[in-house]
Chain A
Amino acid sequence: MTTPLDMLHQPYWMTMGPMIVVAATGFVVMILEFIFRKGDRRWLTVLSMLGVVAALVVAIIHFNAKPTFALNTIGVDPFASVFSVLILISALLVLLFTLDFSAKSDVPAEHTYLILFAVVGALTMASSIDLVTLYVGLELLSVASYVLVAVRTHSIRSVEGGIKYMLMGALGSAVLLYGMSFIYGISGTTNLMNLSGAGLQMFSTYPAITVIGFLMMLIGMGFKLSLVPFHMWTPDAYAGAPTPITSFLATLSKAASFGMLLRMLVFIFNAPGAHLFYWAGIIAAITMIVGNFIALPQRNMKRLLAFSSVAQAGYILVPFAMFGIAQSADWAGLFDSISFYLFAYTFMTVGAFAIVYLLERDKGSLDSDALIGLYQRSPWLAVALTIFVLSLAGMPLTAGFLGKFYIFVDTMHFSTIWLGVILFATSVVSFYYYIGWLRKVYQKEPVAEVTALSASPIMHTLVAVCVIGTLALGIVPALLLHPLAGLPWIYG
């Protein structure tokens, strides 16, 4: 038992540094927002970004720290470090995005600190090893996200998206919690470290309940990750939310949820997992197929990216199916392919949303016809969009191809080649709608006079960072692949 005195002597700074920094920034920004009600308040967003940068520095300082846990609950280990860095980088991109957005629209300033609190939740999901704190982190992220989606209270679509997201999200949380309660019921503990040792015995004593627990946790998180058939809320929430928030849902929220799912499933079900993890493969296959086919007829750019992100979640879920087959010595490769793809996915998705946002603002429409003539209006943004779209489609020399290829090599080795085949075959289907965009980008605008597409320096910076990220991970993937594969993911 931890006594109150022990609680004072925990290594909080080392284990929770990034969370403390981001949460403190969130409170400061919240108070400042109350005080300064007038004028241009974009400096609040800049302040938030500084807080996130500070948290990133703290996370990197402790990156290689020996696995340590405060109160046996929250801590730092390679898994937490990688996902914290990923979450903080995408938070930085999203905040940069909102910096431009809040200057141009009437969105309430609350969204800045709401994003920060959501980041705290996401960091908790990445670095917690207790089901209770994991769930608290998830709820913190989710509740903040519901509000963020519906933040434009005067827009009916925004509110509709927010309500749908909240209903489906709450359902997912409930299912997840129910699944967790089964695991607690048969093991008597919520601590992942204890559960990881108890797995085999648990399974042999209560096989049916273990299976139910596994599936409920997978399905619960499936709602958050918009896996098929739990994806219904995705297009409405994505289309209704302000575009920076959409990019937040698509990247940061997804990365944190994948981190949490991975941590839970691998820690709890490692021993009996051989056939349990196969369920993840089946859901991945359904998600890839349905996500890509349903995206085909979409004309609304944000809805199309929503379905594309459903399909992308399917790709990322593929390595999950192999945890049951692979020996724990080989898990590093699977962790590597999942986290590499998440990094790649973050850059290309934020970049694509950034350009969609510029077009949406310029044309006042989300129809994909807004893409027509983009190459004439801004060659640089057209080329950038080409890179993002080709990366999402999986064209060589981009991060997306390498991520897929690496996952494919995994499936080859772990005798789940059918998933690899579905992965690449559905990618071909996705060519159709991604290339449809490119066709319009390079099509000539019918009007005689071509107006340049205006974008602020902030947006140019954001797009440039995403282009560099997408290309760098595609051309010199060793930058990230090797450090990630070399980490001691499995310890103790």
Chain B
Amino acid sequence: MSLSFWLVAAPLIAAVLLLVLPKMGGAASRGLAIVGTLVSLVLAIVMWLSFPSGSTGFEFIGKIHWFTLPAMWHGTDLSVGLSFGVDGLSLPLAAMTAFISVLAMAGAKRDIDRPRLYYFWLSMVTAGLLGVFAALDLFTFLVALEVTLFGSFFLIQLFGRPGSPKAAIKFLIYRGFATVAMLVALVGIAYGLTGAYSHSGISGNLSFSIPTMLNEAHHLSSGILPAGVAGALLLVLLLGVFIEEAFVPFHTWLPTTHEYADTPTNMVIGGLLTKTGAYVLLRFGVGMLPAQIQHYGMLIAVFGVINILYGAFAAWAQKDWRRLIAFGGISHMGLVLLGIASFSAAGLQGAMFMIVSSGLLTALLFFLTGAIEDRTNTVQLKDLGGLSKAMPMISGFLLVAALGSLGLPLTSGFISEIQAFIGGFTAYPAASFVGLGGLILSAVYLLYAIQKTTFGPTAKLAEGLSDATAREYLPTILLTAFVLLIGIYPNLIGHLFGLSVQGLLGIGG
């Protein structure tokens, strides 16, 4: 078994153990879940360190044959299996998943009702997310995507704030439709690339293997898949991605979800789950339909700019920290779209950086506002104020997170935004210029919220509150450290992203 197989299996094994072992208390359940995800994190680091330099393809590949669908229209059976592997794009995302999940578990409050069930679902979602990023088989990918869907649903439903069931249903319906759109598009792409229109002729065997599909896409530059079909497939894929990423006008599920979910769930959903759509667009859109991405580039770029601005304006208008962070995330992901639309090395790399940066910062913001809420019982801006006196550390880190989010140099936000905009300006200068407004707005809404929360006269409820505890320091410091580390030394993840950008552009160019 390869490392990437165990990367996904470790949290899954922990989840199964949580389900079957009798008499697990809160601490034991949390410990088991953390160990499972920690194994994944260690494996991800090991793979990172031993990743072959210069490799633009998939490494650490592990396959298990599962079953075959009988041949209906051509020679061989359609092999369906569990197949995992990582490349320069998926390895950082997988590592980030394990990292944020471990911290979400470690930073979770200790008095959770039904801890076994809670950590079971948290481990399942982690395994599902790792599966999404590391899947090399379409069937594996779709199964993993459904696991994240149902896992998050139960986390929101069972462990959210009062009123969460409604939010959970909204989440399920929106993301359910996104999954359907992706399913249709991805099976369609598989069929188009490897089945009907294969370069090797009619005898092409339908394959769900993602490396095979990428390979076929490479040959496709000679134009075997009709442009109309490919364009339709991309539009369906975009629909799925847009819902998945909560882009306007499919965005309403995300703020509602964040408003009702608890802190660790928010870290996982905001930091990781909303990044799967961007990954899908990079992997399947840019990777397999490069010509169509360029063809519809303007559409994607305009959509990206609309989201940058709408997300920022909407965030400004929020009175609740969690909804503010949700809209800030939407604004960030709009920049990812702009980077992808540019279809340049800088733009794609900026998009990838932005996925990681937004993931880390969103998780950090949710964690810190969660810590504030634990003390004050509110995250409404109007009720907060003057927290910096009572809790200087939490307030300080919150400021760092906000500065990172608005793209201050030496934070991960800066390197992401600068690259995405460089890419954007080379391809769509007008749209990018308008999008720049988002940078200013992000400074406005974040600093406004910070000022309301930490500065100013001390609110009554802020009196006598304690600062961060040991449990809270660990995730805060580690997340902040990586935000700064990536900002100061981007090549830490940049060299891996660079490899996959080469791979992607090699196909498209």
**What residues make up the interface of A, taking CB atoms closer than 8 Å to B?**
330, 332-333, 336, 390, 395-397, 406, 408-410, 412-413, 417, 420-421, 424-425, 427-428, 431-432, 435-436, 439, 442, 476-478, 481-482, 484-486
Instruction: Evaluate whether A428 and B177 lie within 8 angstroms (CB atoms) in the complex, with A395-B150, A413-B73 already known.
Output: yes
- Whether the pair A431, B143 counts as a contact (CB closer than 8 A) is no
- Whether the pair A428, B173 counts as a contact (CB closer than 8 A) is yes
Question: CB of B235 within 8 A of chain A?
Answer: no
- Whether the pair A333, B72 counts as a contact (CB closer than 8 A) is yes
Q: Which residues of B contact A396 (CB under 8 A)?
A: 142-143, 146-147
User: What's the count of A-B pairs with C-beta under 8 Å?
Assistant: 77
- Shortest Cβ gap from B206 to chain A (Å): 8
- Shortest Cβ gap from B235 to chain A (Å): 13
Whole-angstrom CA separation of A471 from B21 in the bound complex: 22
- Whether the pair A412, B158 counts as a contact (CB closer than 8 A) is no
Whole-angstrom CA separation of A408 from B146 in the bound complex: 17
Task: Identify the interface centre among B71, B73, B157: most chain A CB within 10 Å of its CB.
Answer: B73
Among residues 95 to 150 in chain B, which have CB atoms less than 8 Å away from a CB atom of chain A?
Answer: 142-143, 146-147, 150
Among residues 140 to 181 in chain B, which have CB atoms less than 8 Å away from a CB atom of chain A?
Answer: 142-143, 146-147, 150, 153, 157-158, 165, 169, 172-173, 176-177, 179-180
Q: Across chains A and B, which 5 residue pairs bring their CB atoms closest together, nearest first?
A: A333-B72, A485-B70, A428-B176, A478-B67, A396-B143
- Shortest Cβ gap from B274 to chain A (Å): 19
Looking at the complex, which one of A408, A424, A431, A478 makes contact with B173 (CB distance below 8 Å)? A431
Looking at the complex, which one of A397, A406, A413, A427 makes contact with B180 (CB distance below 8 Å)? A427
- Whether the pair A478, B180 counts as a contact (CB closer than 8 A) is no
13 contacts between A and B (CB under 8 A): A336-B70, A395-B150, A396-B143, A396-B147, A408-B187, A409-B78, A432-B173, A478-B68, A481-B67, A481-B68, A481-B69, A482-B68, A482-B70
Looking at the complex, which one of B143, B183, B195 makes contact with A424 (CB distance below 8 Å)? B183
- Shortest Cβ gap from B6 to chain A (Å): 20
Looking at the complex, which one of A332, A417, A428, A435 makes contact with B188 (CB distance below 8 Å)? A417
Task: Identify the interface centre among B72, B158, B188: most chain A CB within 10 Å of its CB.
Answer: B72
Among residues 188 to 218 in chain B, which have CB atoms less than 8 Å away from a CB atom of chain A?
Answer: 188, 191, 195
What is the chain B residue whose CB lies nearest that of A476?
B67
- Shortest Cβ gap from B65 to chain A (Å): 10
Interface of A is mostly: helix
Question: CB of B64 within 8 A of chain A?
Answer: no
Whole-angstrom CA separation of A330 from B147 in the bound complex: 33
- Shortest Cβ gap from B317 to chain A (Å): 30
Looking at the complex, which one of B72, B172, B184 makes contact with A332 (CB distance below 8 Å)? B72
- Shortest Cβ gap from B120 to chain A (Å): 12
Q: Which residues of B contact A481 (CB under 8 A)?
A: 67-70
Q: Which residues of A contact B172 (CB under 8 A)?
A: 431-432, 435
- Whether the pair B184, A439 counts as a contact (CB closer than 8 A) is no
Whole-angstrom CA separation of A330 from B70 in the bound complex: 11
- Whether the pair A439, B157 counts as a contact (CB closer than 8 A) is yes
- Shortest Cβ gap from A332 to chain B (Å): 7
Q: Which residues of A contact B191 (CB under 8 A)?
A: 412-413
Given contacts A420-B184, A485-B70, 17 further A-B contacts (CB under 8 A): A330-B72, A333-B70, A333-B73, A336-B70, A336-B72, A395-B146, A396-B146, A408-B183, A408-B187, A412-B187, A412-B188, A424-B180, A424-B184, A435-B153, A435-B172, A476-B67, A481-B69
Whole-angstrom CA separation of A257 from B186 in the bound complex: 35
- Whether the pair B70, A421 counts as a contact (CB closer than 8 A) is no
Among residues 21 to 76 in chain B, which have CB atoms less than 8 Å away from a CB atom of chain A?
Answer: 67-73
Whole-angstrom CA separation of A482 from B184 in the bound complex: 24
What is the chain B residue whose CB lies nearest that of A327?
B73
Whole-angstrom CA separation of A478 from B70 in the bound complex: 8
Q: Which residues of A contact B142 (CB under 8 A)?
A: 396
- Shortest Cβ gap from A11 to chain B (Å): 31
- Shortest Cβ gap from A249 to chain B (Å): 29
Whole-angstrom CA separation of A424 from B185 in the bound complex: 12
What is the chain A residue whose CB lies nearest that of B165?
A439
- Shortest Cβ gap from B236 to chain A (Å): 9
Q: Which residues of B contact A428 (CB under 8 A)?
A: 173, 176-177, 179-180
What is the chain A residue whose CB lies nearest that of B192?
A412
Q: Which residues of B contact A435 (CB under 8 A)?
A: 153, 169, 172
Q: Which residues of B contact A330 (CB under 8 A)?
A: 72-73
- Shortest Cβ gap from A457 to chain B (Å): 23
Instruction: Give B268-293 as 1s and 0s: 1 = Cβ < 8 Å from A's Cβ atoms.
Output: 00000000000000000000000000
Task: Identify the interface centre among B69, B143, B150, B169: most chain A CB within 10 Å of its CB.
Answer: B69
Q: Which residues of A contact B177 (CB under 8 A)?
A: 425, 428
- Shortest Cβ gap from B458 to chain A (Å): 40
Q: Which residues of A contact B176 (CB under 8 A)?
A: 428, 431
- Shortest Cβ gap from A194 to chain B (Å): 29
- Shortest Cβ gap from B76 to chain A (Å): 13
Whole-angstrom CA separation of A395 from B151 in the bound complex: 12
Whole-angstrom CA separation of A35 from B178 in the bound complex: 63
